Amino acid sequence: MKRVLLAACVIGLAGVSACQDNPSAPSGPGTTVFRANIAAASAVPAVTGPESGGSGTATITLHSTRANGVITGGTLDVTISLAGYPAGTQITAAQIRAGGAAANGAVVQDTPLASQGGASLGSGAGTITLTGIPVTGLVANALVANAVAYYVNVQSALNPVTAARGQLLFP
């Protein structure tokens, strides 16, 4: 019995020391995934008209770089799947903005969607994928620290301020 207890203590101590982070040692890259359920009805004010039935999901994958345990920057991969829009809807931009569910906020992270000419939802549905978007350490740390304080905002030609939006969540 004493041997089992001793072995458990040794294993436990080894596990504790193996799990401790050494803040003076360089850290490697990490991946954090955020998700958002986005909808035209979640816009502030809610979208009316032909795009009012639009909804979808957004998945944002942060590939962070770290130095001494602190996120210093990285890249984002963004996948936005949309449905319920009129055929031919032109999605013109997508960003991450600061703000709660009932408030509009400032852009904290833009995507290259606008500069790439947007994306057409030929049948009223589609998936937009944007990869390798540079992100600063300031933005990356803020997202990891409090994802729900930010939301994904999608804009269209018909609704240039907000066609759909949803708060970021950890899965």
Q: Of 105, 102, 171, 96, whose CA–CA distance to 140 is shortest?
A: 96
The mean pLDDT of the chain is 87
Q: Is residue 65 one of the residues assigned to a domain?
A: yes
pTM: 0.83
Q: Is residue 92 one of the residues assigned to a domain?
A: yes
Q: Is residue 2 one of the residues assigned to a domain?
A: no
CA–CA distance from 14 to each of 19, 22, 25, 69 (Å)? 9, 15, 19, 21
Pairing mode of beta strands 55-67, 150-156: unpaired
What is the identity of the amino acid at 38? I
Per-residue pLDDT, 110: 98
Per the model's pLDDT, the better-predicted residue between 59 and 8 turns out to be 59
User: What is the four-CA torsion angle of 166, 167, 169, 171, rounded to 10 degrees?
Assistant: -10
Q: What is the DSSP string of 127-145?
A: EEEEEEEEEEHHHHHHHHH
Instruction: Please count the structural domains in the chain.
Output: 1
Q: Is residue 104 one of the residues assigned to a domain?
A: yes
Task: Answer yes or no: is pLDDT of 64 > 90.
Answer: yes
Per-residue pLDDT, 33: 96
pLDDT tens column, 108-135: 999 999 999 999 999 999 999 999 999 9
Task: Answer yes or no: is pLDDT of 93 > 60.
Answer: yes
pLDDT band for position 69 (50/70/90)?
A: confident
pLDDT tens column, 16-60: 333 333 333 344 569 999 999 999 999 999 999 999 999 999 999
**Domain range holding 140?**
23-167
Q: Is residue 10 one of the residues assigned to a domain?
A: no
Q: Is residue 35 one of the residues assigned to a domain?
A: yes
Q: Of 144, 119, 149, 141, whose CA–CA distance to 32 is shortest?
A: 144
Alpha helices in the chain (DSSP H): 2-19, 137-145
Q: Is residue 1 one of the residues assigned to a domain?
A: no
Per-residue pLDDT, 23: 32
Q: Is residue 17 one of the residues assigned to a domain?
A: no
Of the listed ranges 16-20, 29-33, 84-88, 142-146, the least confidently predicted one is 16-20
Alpha helices in 49-136 (DSSP H): none
